[in-house]
Amino acid sequence: MFSISDIDNIIINSLKEDMPAGDITTDNIIDENAMSFAKMIAKDSGVIAGLDVAKRVFELLDQDVKFDKHTEDGQWVSKGDVIATIHGKTRALLKGERTALNILQRLSGIATITRQYADKIKHLKAKVVDTRKTTPGLRMLEKYAVRVGGGTNHRFCLSDGVLIKDNHIKAAGGIKKAIELVRNKIPHTIKIEVETETIDQVLEAIDGKADIIMLDNMGLDMMKEAVKIINGKAIVEASGNVTLDTIVEIAETGVDIISVGSLTHSVRAFDISMKIT
């Protein structure tokens, strides 16, 4: 999944951003030895993701902090539920509050919307996957949240797999030419995906022996025709303007994968508050 050092780097950078020269409010009001107890409370209903990351925020600020989870990542919580309790130095609780909540709220929002998409098509073969439309610096966490919500991950980065998009096709002089160029330079273990917008492009991708064919912004009728033409010769991915209202019809065309950029690029944060008691 990811290492503790990866998480620490994200948290440390976030804390530096939030208090580059300390917290002038907390440091001048709260005694350095003061201790407090706090609750994290769900103000929405949905799927929680990122509790261990939130815990790590406070551990980096107070090595003796006690963070007790009242639920686990992937569990559904209701508005008003206490999702965690924290006991430690008051300064640490106050300094870590916003960073911990920002991460927890965003990841829980992603997990919640992913669960909604996944549940819509759980009776069909298609899988919901994410995209690279993520928050800079938070990709590993956001893709983790997608998995927590019941989705799966597309490639993590540009180094992971070949995806020949419209601009590559134009620059190379065609789909088949682009496939030939890349296939001669990559290991045989790496799959090649091609983005298509027309039936002619689908036929060219098949002729070039693409492993995965993306149907980009196609209408339902064209998508059905493309799936029939591909007929198992490649994995079929649907992409473009997928919503909760359209995903079932898209899945019913017979595609294998449905990529949804909105899982990460425009998700609404899951509302959580932290209250010192």
Catalytic site residue from 195, 204, 237, 256: 195
Mean pLDDT of all residues belonging to the chain = 96
Q: What is the pLDDT of residues 90-117, one digit of tens each?
A: 999 999 999 999 999 999 999 999 999 9
What domains appear along the chain, each with residue ranges and CATH number? 4-113+268-276 (3.90.1170.20), 119-265 (3.20.20.70)
Catalytic site residue from 120, 133, 155, 191: 133
- pLDDT at 131 exceeding the cut of 80: yes
Q: For residue 59, indicate whether it is catalytic.
A: no
Strands in 28-144 per DSSP E: 35-42, 46-47, 66-69, 76-77, 82-89, 127-129
Q: How are beta strands 192-196 and 46-47 bridged, if at all?
A: unpaired
Catalytic site residue from 165, 209, 233, 268: 165
CB 38, CB 62: distance < 8 Å: no
| Cross-strand partners of 255 | none
What local confidence, expressed as pLDDT, does residue 2 receive?
65
Residues 6+ apart with CB under 8 A from 113: 149, 262, 263, 267, 268
CB 36, CB 93: distance < 8 Å: yes
- How far is residue 222's CA from residue 75's CA, in Å, rounded to a whole number? 38
Q: For residue 195, indicate whether it is catalytic.
A: yes
Q: For residue 98, indicate whether it is catalytic.
A: yes
pLDDT band at 3 (very low <50, low <70, confident <90, very high): confident
Residues 6+ apart with CB under 8 A from 6: 140
Q: What is the mean pLDDT of residues 188-194?
A: 95
Check the CA dihedral 44-48-49-52 and report its sign: positive
- How far is residue 87's CA from residue 66's CA, in Å, rounded to a whole number? 5
Q: For residue 89, indicate whether it is catalytic.
A: no
Tell me how far the alpha carbon of residue 175 is from its chain's centroid.
29
Angle at 113 between CA 108 and CA 119, to 5 degrees: 120
Q: For residue 133, indicate whether it is catalytic.
A: yes
Q: What is the pLDDT of residues 54-73, one digit of tens each?
A: 999 999 999 999 999 999 99
> DSSP for 104-120?
HHHHHHHHHHHHHHHHH
Catalytic site residue from 98, 155, 183, 224: 98
Tokens of 52: 């261990």
Residue that is written with structure tokens 């273990």 in the block: 189
Q: What is the mean pLDDT of residues 168-194?
A: 95
Percentage of the chain exceeding pLDDT 90: 97
Catalytic site residue from 44, 73, 130, 216: 216
- How far is residue 175's CA from residue 42's CA, in Å, rounded to a whole number? 49
| Cross-strand partners of 212 | 193, 235
